[in-house]
Structure 1
Amino acid sequence: MIIGAAVATVWFWVPLAILVIAVSSIPSIIGFLLAAVVFVYLMRGVDRVERVRSEAVFGMQIPVPSRKISGYKGFQRWAHQLLLDVSSVRFWKSAAHHYLRMTYDLLAGGLALALLAFAFLGPAAALAVQRSDEDAGLRFLSPPPAFVLAFVALAAAVAILIFAPALDAKIDRWLLTASPTAELQREVSALSQARQGAVSSAQTERHRIERDLHDSVQPRLVSLAMTIGLAQTKLDSDPAAAATLIAEAHDDVKAALAELRNVVRGIAPTILADRGLDAALSAVVQRTETSGVPTTLDIHLPDRLPDEVEACAYFVVAEALTNVARHAEATQAVVTVRADEASGTLHVSVFDDGRGGAQIDTGEDSTGLRGLAERVRAARGTFDVSSPATGPTIVTAVLPCAS
């Protein structure tokens, strides 16, 4: 309470002055925009500070309300995010909380200070006035009432400093927590996005399977059928040539089986279900090293995760390393998988030092990173790609894994 009152005497005017400048600068669009941006960032920082203070003082662990995130890129994303923040209830509740807390601390702290000053100085003043010369014309309470009022003032000041923080805590609960309606809307929005991500992910996966079958397995089977047909025509007239063709057909069958296994592995890897995420990612890393890119796996999982979380993490790593092997021209790659038990999330990142420029394609027939983004969104996680033109590239996914 005392620190809040002391800070409020100086800080109270800073955000208010910026807001006044913004409003008064409306005729000058540039001045208004600059002041408004400064005010928004200031209030966002204040919100974080107030939550840290509330946790440190009261230990209430107030959950942070959801914040709408812009889906645009670049400068448009920054401007749209500012607009979303300003138009959100959370932003103005945070600003109202900050000023209400400062005003309350200033009034309560100032009153307690005034009462303490009277409690210690009042009796001394009464005694001094009593002993002064009557010709001085000084008037004050007589010592007995002054001592009684000083005791009352001291008790009132102590009561304020003891019981006033209870209202502080109520203000925090009132304005820092999200309303049930807002949380329900957030949950409905999250479920809707997860459903859309699941539908898009399924469609993208179907396109991938069709592409793999059409580009690899189907031509291999057509070639196999033609080779067997030629062998049948030469079986009677040229047995040696027929035997050669049959041997080629046998090689084609083995190659087709290998390609089918790759397709099946992309749908549901058996090793993932049997031995878990650690063993499955080790196999993926080994395949990447075989392709010529040294890869390090850093994984820490205290226990098995839900099947859908393991599958999503597996495909994020597998697809990212496939892109590294095919397109990145990298000299090394690092896969990091960490389970954060405190937040109940799984953090997955794939780093490579190759050329950058990777981005999530939004075309209808695109797969790869877009498919991963949709798969992660279906799992109600977050997906991000950082890939400047000169590299390096970092693919990151955060998946909720609390059972």
Structure 2
Amino acid sequence: MAEIKAPVFPESVQDGTIVEWHVAEGDAVSRDQLLAEIETDKVVLEVVAPDDGVVTSIVKGVDDTVLSAEVIAQFEAGAAPAEKPAAPAEEKAEPAAAPAQAAPATAEGDFKDQSPAVRKAAKETGVNPADVAGTGRGGRVTKSDMVNPTLKTSSGSVIATAVGERAETRVPMTRLRKRIAERLLAATQETAMLTTFNEVNMKPLMDLRAKYKDRFEKRHGVKLGFMSLFVKAATEALKRFPAVNASIDGDDIVYHGFYDVGVAVSSDRGLVVPVLRDTDSMGLADVEAGIRDYAIKAREGKLAIEEMTGGTFTITNGGVFGSLMSTPIINPPQTAILGMHAINERPMAVNGEVVILPMMYLALSYDHRLIDGKDAVQFLVTIKELIEDPSMLLLDL
């Protein structure tokens, strides 16, 4: 008999919560098969089978808190699942039960592949998980889906169940959402945060992208987007204004001699900020590939903790959701964050004439305890100039 344990958590993670079991007691599993998911305040960690065998018992259930390397289940390697005893001969000879006596739609056999929490909810509510539109990874039905189910139609679409004219649902906040809330609240209470704005003409960058995007993708295997150029422009601006790349540690100012830029990515579980390391030595293709890989990992819930720690500056793009202007919140212990927004055509005065141009508002939120207004404004102007004339990045001007 072997023990299945929770992963060893990093020092910054105290404990986690089991959010889902993908197997039940007595299930046969294969090596590296996903058994359970544990949510911490930063990432969701997967627990896999150490070998072929059978899960003999589950020690920690859904919603239970687990510590680093704590036992969550018992496992017997190489074992086969226990066979159910055969029915007596006289029972086999009995005629089939009448339709009125058939097992309900939520019989155990109809949802044996569901997690224990879902099976329990199905028995309590009489709702068949097969009829519920799942919101979990890969469409899997979760416990919260069973609490307030959205039912599928025969065509596969969904219909909301009418619980009442003024229905409401109460679900526990996830660890990741609670951690995000704590950090955002701390940032607003513990920093002297101020935001400065500017606007940038995106036409030069859009023309550059339109001209070279096909050749870029063919050469490097990734698409050329705007974010990589903003990352490179921000990196150059950080070199010129070291205070924006610094952090406050107690009564000390820590000036970082490297440039690790976090890029905010939206996932089903909340906003996460994976970090691109040493962006000053990365090419545009490297940045685009890094962002693409992080976006995929975020959607699949596979970002590692080390991929989301240690950034010196952050860029967030609310424009992908249609935001025209916002004041982004600093990601402590960093002292500044750049906010990108939607690109909209607006009439602009150019050389005494009105011209329609694709414009974007930029926002820089910064900690006024460390960064003076002058440096913050000039930092943002530097990014504006580099984006409006991308050749300056190539010529190091």
TM-score range normalised by the length of the shorter chain: under 0.3
TM-score of the aligned structures, taking structure 1 as reference length: 0.27
Greater fraction strand = 2
TM-score of the aligned structures, taking structure 2 as reference length: 0.27
Select the structure of larger CA radius of gyration.
1
Greater fraction helix = 1
